[in-house]
A = this chain, B = another copy of it.
Amino acid sequence: MANTTYSYEFKILKVEVSEDGVAHVEVHRPEALNAYSKQTWTEIGECFEQIKRDGRVRSVVLSAAGRMFTAGLDLKEALTGPLGKKADPKEDAARRGYYHRLFILEFQDAISAIETCDKPVIAVIHGGCLGIGIDVISACDIRVASEDAYFMVKEVDIGMAADIGTLQRLPKVVGNDSWVRDVCYTARRISAKEAIAVGLLSRMLPTKNEAMDAAMETARAIASKSPVAVVSTKHLLNYSRDHSVREGLEYTALWNTLAHNSHDMATAVMASLKKKQARFPNL
């Protein structure tokens, strides 16, 4: 029953779960500057679906290998795929569109798995974080970065609107609509310093290593709490973001009626009275 270190098997992602329940997910395609190919986002979807059902994982750190977080969508692949397929004049546009819409929905679902996995996810950004990178980090809970990080909502520069979550989540992540619109319309470069001023980042640290350490420390702090409490908190924050206060309260009352059946409350209170650190079983 003890938590031992183990891995998930993926081609692009490297996933290690530590003894204390922190999963480290690393996008590992440095030779392509971690550009998101279909394989990449498919693995992201599968990985976070697996995390959702893995009771030993309590929090997640998401980072990337090599020179930068991501150069964005793998354009080379995209242009040979649905986006780049030259419209066959004989092909029916409505029919092609029917399947193209399903393709975008599938892509969105893969990235949304970060949000729906119910375990808090901390993104660590270094170097460039472009295009799809913003969609990805907006779906995370907490963002920390090294000083060299920079961000670009790059999509308008390739002639399209961001469609994998940036336009939905970024305005709810930072509380400055004027800024969000500025960076989405102009695709201009955002420094880490600007990102922290506007609230896109929680913390900025000199180097990637330090940013990883800081993220890991927070992830371990979260992992030491009752997983029932943590998972409930993430689930309810996401539900409440998308509903009125009244509906959020009603859903929360129902959810907690169930969650209050946990022994964790007694464990936590008892430990607190004894001034000891409580230890909670896996989910």
Contact = CB atoms under 8 A, between A and B. Distances in A.
A43 interface: no
A89 B92 contact: no
Interface string A90-105: 0011110111111011
A83 B181 contact: no
Contacts of A184: 233, 237
Max chain B CB contacts within 10 Å: which of A143, A163, A218?
A163
A167 B240 contact: yes
Contact of A167 (B87, B233, B254): B233
A255 interface: yes
B248 A167 contact: yes
A242 to B, nearest CB: 4
Interface string A137-149: 0000111000000
Contacts of A108: 249, 252-253
Interface stretch (A3-11, A24-32, A262-270): A262-270
Contacts of A283: 95, 98
B259 A94 contact: yes
Size bin of chain A's contact surface: 35 or more
A254 B255 contact: yes
A123 to B, nearest CB: 9
A75 B102 CA distance: 32
Nearest to A259: B94
B226 A156 contact: yes
Given A105-B250, A179-B202, A255-B254, A269 B158 contact: yes
A233 B199 contact: no
Contact of A173 (B178, B188, B278): B178
B92 A281 contact: yes
A253 B87 contact: no
A59 to B, nearest CB: 8
B269 A79 contact: yes
Of A87, A115, A228, most B-chain CB atoms within 10 Å: A228
B159 A262 contact: yes
Given A141-B185, A156-B229, A174-B175, 8 more contacts: A93-B93, A98-B283, A104-B252, A115-B245, A142-B182, A160-B262, A163-B255, A254-B254
23 contacts: A83-B260, A83-B265, A92-B264, A93-B262, A95-B262, A95-B281, A98-B231, A101-B257, A105-B253, A142-B178, A143-B178, A156-B229, A158-B269, A159-B264, A159-B268, A160-B232, A160-B256, A163-B255, A171-B237, A172-B177, A172-B245, A181-B234, A186-B225
